[in-house]
Structure 1
């Protein structure tokens, strides 16, 4: 279909939906004569009349119902293209909910979100700190930034960086006690390694947060495994070598498949991915090594 034919078809659709030339003219913000001319032009191009012209207005004969419905589908498609194009050029604005772990929220993502706001002041990011995996299918969040071995089938995303882990204790404190992990962190790679390797009698406390585990270590309670950057950037702690194996895990930036192409969500996901990739060396850390 040529552009001219689609332009004429817009007038046909307006008349069909409004039931009269005058109403179609008001909807399209043109004069009465223009509507008549464009409908006639389309009918001439297809070689048939589309309306029964009565004293009550323009009626669509049943034989033409499928034609009008097809015109509606074309109209919806054209409108969808327009919305998509506007979305790609519009400034980044609106609300986006991002969920991530406590350590990434506190020490990595907050400065990144602050920089996003400078570039896009109309953007509002809700940063949801939780070590449990929120259900993106139920729209608990729009974007998840998560250390994980892989993604569930209903999520789409990219690996932005790799999160390395290290073992730390209070500076100058020689201890054989350990800080265990609880809650969702107990099921993480490092949590499972601690439970499988360290005897329960050596675990003096547990935490469902790496930030809390770091605080336990900093006050001398025991050895704590944590994201390497979290320990390396704390002057209260010493890194302990030769015990913790390489337990690195990918950091994914993902959305539910149904939300992945929403312009503001896709844009924020891309910018988060790029910002995390720029910190890849920091997030990887020195790595453990048994």
Structure 2
């Protein structure tokens, strides 16, 4: 099973039509129609019932849809986690403040900041 096929299933199920899926996927409606027919033929099972109101998932289609939404969520989470990792901030930040202000108010903030951005070093300059 290719991810691209799952994208088509998600689009058809969400829009309940070939035309809506084609707009969502930015492809011609005939492409969506051909891809769905080829996928159903290859799997040997109908994924959608064609009714007068549109396309409705079958039991097999519902199972595929549920799995596809889980995979989609994992891909989105992976992208959020991975994108920009090479561009994370790093270097030295210098903060000028009084020692009492730093230790009483700012230390928890800097600790949380440093956990999120471990490549950032801090330097404290007292007044």
TM-score, length of structure 1 as denominator length? 0.35
Larger Rg: 1
Do structure 1's residue 112 and structure 2's residue 92 form an aligned pair? yes
| CA positional deviation for 1:57 | 0.9
Structure-2 change in CA distance of 1:85 and 1:44 (3 Å):
farther
Cα distance in 1, alignment partners of residues 61 and 20 from structure 2? 20
Partner in structure 2 of residue 269 of structure 1: 118
| CA positional deviation for 1:87 | 2.6
Unaligned runs of 5+ residues in structure 1 are 94-110, 115-127, 135-140, 146-252, 256-264, 277-290
| Structure 1 contact 15–24 (Cα < 8 Å) conserved | yes
Cα distance in 1, alignment partners of residues 68 and 24 from structure 2? 17
Higher strand share: 1
SS in 2 for 1:10: helix
Q: Equivalences for 1:1-290 in 2 at 5 Å?
A: 1=1, 5-62=2-59, 64-89=61-86, 91-92=87-88, 112-113=92-93, 129-131=102-104, 134=108, 141=109, 143-144=110-111, 255=115, 265=116, 268-272=117-121
| CA positional deviation for 1:62 | 4.2
| CA positional deviation for 1:85 | 2.7
C-alpha distance after superposition, 1:224-261 (max 9, x if no partner): xxxxxxxxxxxxxxxxxxxxxxxxxxxxx963xxxxxx
Alignment size in residue pairs? 115
Partner in structure 2 of residue 122 of structure 1: none
Unaligned runs of 5+ residues in structure 2 are 95-100
| Structure 2 contact 46–61 (Cα < 8 Å) conserved | no
| Structure 1 contact 8–41 (Cα < 8 Å) conserved | no
TM-score, length of structure 2 as denominator length? 0.72
| CA positional deviation for 1:53 | 0.7
Cα distance in 2, alignment partners of residues 62 and 45 from structure 1? 17
SS in 1 for 2:104: coil
Root mean square deviation of aligned Cα = 2.9
